[in-house]
């Protein structure tokens, strides 16, 4: 292939890069997306989609094992079994279908997808290498969407017994003893799945709480559920290295002990791939390890944008997608800038946690008086019919006029409330607006209406 030129070159076909490519194509921009892996990035290949598939399979299996004992529902199921290899094949099938879907959407938009490793020659020139061949692409503007990779602990390098999330989502048999280092998003989502599949799971978390970015009211039902599943959770405990039988840890009292493990899953965060593609040679301004961008995702070099995980927290697929769409529109000449009021976040534990906008503490820290309203699922008919009474919906509103500043929930299946939460905040709803909307009965979404009514002082069902 001879050298190429284009108006917009996007490095990385993860959620940020492929959405940028699709939108650019729709807008008639001559664009190329380059990726060394299958399209879809971390999220599709080894992240969001595979993890949710495995969580679903684990939940289905766990239901059957639960029904194997005594169920108040009057259901019994005999001797459930799981062939994890078949489960992984099923998950891989979903990933393949979506890989083809992303490639098809790029093609339909008119954007070219090139497979290969990108290396910057200068701010507008990139060499793309596939096997022994390489081409040079010259672009008017470039988007860096190189994403992130699992962070490694120097004393627990990946390999052998020590695995990262990608390997954990591809195991062909259920480990008898799994130790998870890091009780954050990934550790708890995957750890819970393995506990439901029958592993003896121990979580080692350095902080005083699991999911330390959330307030304790939100994480308490999750901790209770982990313990109900028989998972051991060691808080304020530091991983120290690998011993003969498993993981060496330092307990809160300073004592060292060993936790037996067949696999040690390390999930202590992700590092931005700001060192990929020879990016460092461009000398771009950084924010810690992340590339620094402004409210239009412009880096410190003219004509070079950056989006997604490589630009900072929250490292979420939908943030990367929203940035990708915005940058394509900016390149097309639209007057766009980052104007979002909130980025919803969902932790797919059991129960799930969803947060959007400001927590009560964050709102208070901003100075203006706030009011909160909370509605427990124990008072929600739908939750009772689903054996899902643990958890609540909480609203944080400005005291002065009831403007909704934040919404949070913990409970079974509350991820689906995230859209209602984000719409309420983006559209500037007040607690009385949501309180006045007819919510279908019986649904968990009535918890949102009731939390808003509670903030106004007149919840109907508590």
270: contact with ligand NAD by CB under 6 A: yes
Strands (E), 4-132: 4-11, 31-35, 112-115, 117-122, 125-130
> In the structure encoding, which two tokens stand for residue 89, read together?
């094949």
**Interacting partner of 204 out of ligand NAD, ligand FAD, none (Cβ under 5 to 8 A depending on kind):** ligand NAD
User: Candidates 1-9, 270-278, 391-399, 427-435 — which segment interacts with ligand FAD by CB under 6 A?
Assistant: 270-278
396 and 407 Cβ atoms separated by less than 8 Å: yes
348: contact with ligand NAD by CB under 6 A: yes
Closer residue to ligand FAD (CB): 248 or 297 = 297
For residues 21 and 105, what is the distance between their CA atoms, to the nearest angstrom?
9
**Is 441 one of the catalytic residues?**
yes
| 62, 66, 234, 441: the active-site residue | 441
For residues 420 and 429, what is the distance between their CA atoms, to the nearest angstrom?
11
The widest CA-to-CA distance across the chain, in whole angstroms, is: 70
Q: What is the H or E stretch that residue 38 is in?
A: none
User: Candidates 7-15, 279-287, 340-348, 398-406 — which segment interacts with ligand NAD by CB under 6 A?
Assistant: 340-348
**Interacting partner of 43 out of ligand FAD, ligand NAD, none (Cβ under 5 to 8 A depending on kind):** ligand FAD
Total residues contacting ligand FAD by CB under 6 A comes to 36
* Residue with token string 């490519």: 21
**Interacting partner of 183 out of ligand FAD, ligand NAD, none (Cβ under 5 to 8 A depending on kind):** ligand NAD
Among 19, 178, 307, 346, binds ligand NAD (CB under 6 A): 346
Residues contacting residue 339 through CB under 8 Å, at least 6 positions apart? none
Across the beta sheet with 177-181, the strand order is 162-163, 263-266, 177-181, 200-204, 232-234
Interface residues for ligand FAD in 140-199 (CB under 6 A)? 145-148, 165, 186
Total residues contacting ligand NAD by CB under 6 A comes to 27
User: Candidates 55-63, 199-207, 313-321, 326-334 — which segment interacts with ligand FAD by CB under 6 A?
Assistant: 313-321
Q: What DSSP letter does each residue of 400-442 carry, written as one string?
A: TT-BEEEEEEEETTGGGGHHHHHHHHHTT-BHHHHHHSPPPSS
User: Candidates 27-35, 108-116, 177-185, 223-231 — which segment interacts with ligand NAD by CB under 6 A?
Assistant: 177-185
Look at the chain and count its residues: 462
Active site residues: 441
Provide the binding-site residues for ligand NAD, judged by CB under 6 A: 153, 181-187, 189, 204-207, 212, 238-239, 267-270, 314-316, 345-348
């Amino acid at each position: 292939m001879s050298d190429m030129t284009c108006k917009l070159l996007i490095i990385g076909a993860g959620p940020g890069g492929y959405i940028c490519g699709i939108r650019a194509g729709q807008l008639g921009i001559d664009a190329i997306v380059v990726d060394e892996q299958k399209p879809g990035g971390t999220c599709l290949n080894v992240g969001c989609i595979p993890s949710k598939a495995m969580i679903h399979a684990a939940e289905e299996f766990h239901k059957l094992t639960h029904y194997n004992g005594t169920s108040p529902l009057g259901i019994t199921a005999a001797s459930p079994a799981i062939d994890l290899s078949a489960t992984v094949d099923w998950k891989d099938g979903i990933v393949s279908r979506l890989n083809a879907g992303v490639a098809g959407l790029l093609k339909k938009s008119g954007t070219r997808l090139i497979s290969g490793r990108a290396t910057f020659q200068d701010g507008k020139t990139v060499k793309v290498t596939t096997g022994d061949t390489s081409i040079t692409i010259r672009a008017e503007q470039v988007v860096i969407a190189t994403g992130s990779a699992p962070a490694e602990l120097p004393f627990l390098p990946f390999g052998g017994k020590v695995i990262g999330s990608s390997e954990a989502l591809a195991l062909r048999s259920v480990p008898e003893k799994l130790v998870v280092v890091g009780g954050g998003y990934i550790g708890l989502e995957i750890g819970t799945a393995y506990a439901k599949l029958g592993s003896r799971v121990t979580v080692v978390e350095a902080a005083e709480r699991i999911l330390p970015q959330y307030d304790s009211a939100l994480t308490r039902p999750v901790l209770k559920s982990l313990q109900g599943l028989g998972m051991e959770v060691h808080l304020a405990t530091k991983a120290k290295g690998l011993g003969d039988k498993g993981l060496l840890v330092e307990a809160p009292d300073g004592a060292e002990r060993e936790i037996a493990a067949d696999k040690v899953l390390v999930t202590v965060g992700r590092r931005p791939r700001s060192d990929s593609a020879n990016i460092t040679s461009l000398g771009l301004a950084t924010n810690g390890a992340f590339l620094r961008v402004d409210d239009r995702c412009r880096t410190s070099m003219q004509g070079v944008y950056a989006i997604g995980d490589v630009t900072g927290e929250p490292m979420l697929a939908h943030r990367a997608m929203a940035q990708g769409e915005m940058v394509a529109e900016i390149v097309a000449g639209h007057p766009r800038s980052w104007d979002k009021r909130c980025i919803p976040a969902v932790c797919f534990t059991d129960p799930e946690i969803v947060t959007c906008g400001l927590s009560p503490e964050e709102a208070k820290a901003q100075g203006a008086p706030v009011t909160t309203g909370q509605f427990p699922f124990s008072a929600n008919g739908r939750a009772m019919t689903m054996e899902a009474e643990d958890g609540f919906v909480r609203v944080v509103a400005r005291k002065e006029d009831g403007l909704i500043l934040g919404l949070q929930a913990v409970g079974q299946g509350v991820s689906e409330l995230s859209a209602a939460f984000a719409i309420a905040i983006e559209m500037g709803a007040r607690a009385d607006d949501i309180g006045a909307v007819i919510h279908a009965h019986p649904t968990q979404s009535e918890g949102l209406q009731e939390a808003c009514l509670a903030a106004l002082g007149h919840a109907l069902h508590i």
